[in-house]
Amino acid sequence: MFQFLFFLLSFSIFLFSCSPSGREGVEEEQFAKYWYQGKAEINVFDLQQSRYGQVRPGKAVMIFVTEDFSKAKQVKLDNPKDRPSDAQKVLKLNMTREFVTGVYPYHTMLSVFTPVYEEVWSPKLTASVTEWCGQSFTQLNFKSGKYNAKQFSYFENEGDAETKLDAPAEEEIFNLIRLNPDLVPMGNLRLVPSLIFQRFAHIPLKAESATVSKRDIGSNQSEIEVAYSEIGRKLIVRYQMFFPYEIIAFQEVWTKADGKQEITTATRTNMQMLDYWNQNEKVFEPLRKDLGL
């Protein structure tokens, strides 16, 4: 009898830890049916990446998946049922870009972990840029009301640095759109600009003034625009207005001090729900062709 009561208590704690607790825009039944089916959503984009004053063709991939995240360690939980009080359900975005500049390739990766139910900033973001000259890495961890940011770079003037940031991250917007576009804050606010852009532009990592707006563009599509007047950056994300709010394109515009612009665009060409982690044998390689990779 005692074991049965203990099981009921433990199970109740587990359910409570995974229950909605803040984000009113997330409809649990609808969300769970789509996102808790044991698969990731793989989105492939044709990329036109502006770099060094020229547009380079490439591929971008957005991988959205839910997982259990440790509140204490800010890493993926291996056994969430063993530590239900530490488990936090997050929507994870892994985004890659691949393109070539002349003879050498560029590879970037962004990871954003955003709570599904709690109305708090994403507890963790990471970004890396690798190319033949070297590599750089940035990590943001949300602790005590601010981000603790660590940067590592092969550039002397950037070097290894650590700072505090008191603003949410721009790249969290991708995940907020997928949860519910109404969760994206509108108006004038302070944001940490894209971690990938910050490395490309070699600007200081700090919060900047931004204006966020939304507009309907027809055909059940809307766009969210993030504009920074001081650094000349603009991000436009186009998405479907209905659940699951799929992202179908994005554009980045960088207006430099001399007035010249670098414009990057990405347009989605393929999307599949796939448990890719279970399909790592050679026999599954043709699936890349199906995705357009």
Q: CA separation (Å) from 253 to 231, 259, 269, 273?
A: 11, 12, 21, 30
- The confidence band for 22, taking pLDDT boundaries of 50, 70 and 90, is low
The pLDDT value given to residue 34: 98
If one counts the domains in the chain, the total is 1
Q: Which residue has the higher pLDDT, 37 or 20?
A: 37
Counting Cα atoms < 13 Å in the Cβ hemisphere of 52 gives: 7
**pLDDT, tens digit (0-9, with 9 covering 90-100), for 241-272:** 999 999 999 999 999 999 999 999 999 999 99
CA separation for the pair 31, 53 (Å, rounded): 42
CA separation for the pair 64, 178 (Å, rounded): 9
The pLDDT value given to residue 14: 39
CA separation for the pair 218, 216 (Å, rounded): 6
- The confidence band for 25, taking pLDDT boundaries of 50, 70 and 90, is confident
Q: Which domain holds residue 69?
A: 2-270+277-291
The pLDDT value given to residue 157: 83
**pLDDT, tens digit (0-9, with 9 covering 90-100), for 150-204:** 999 998 888 899 999 999 999 999 999 999 999 999 999 999 999 999 999 999 9
Counting Cα atoms < 13 Å in the Cβ hemisphere of 109 gives: 11
> What is the rounded average pLDDT of the residues 7-29?
57
**pLDDT, tens digit (0-9, with 9 covering 90-100), for 116-128:** 999 999 999 999 9
The pLDDT value given to residue 13: 39
Q: Write the CB contacts of 160 (distance below 8 Å, at least 6 apart in sequence).
A: 150, 151, 152, 153
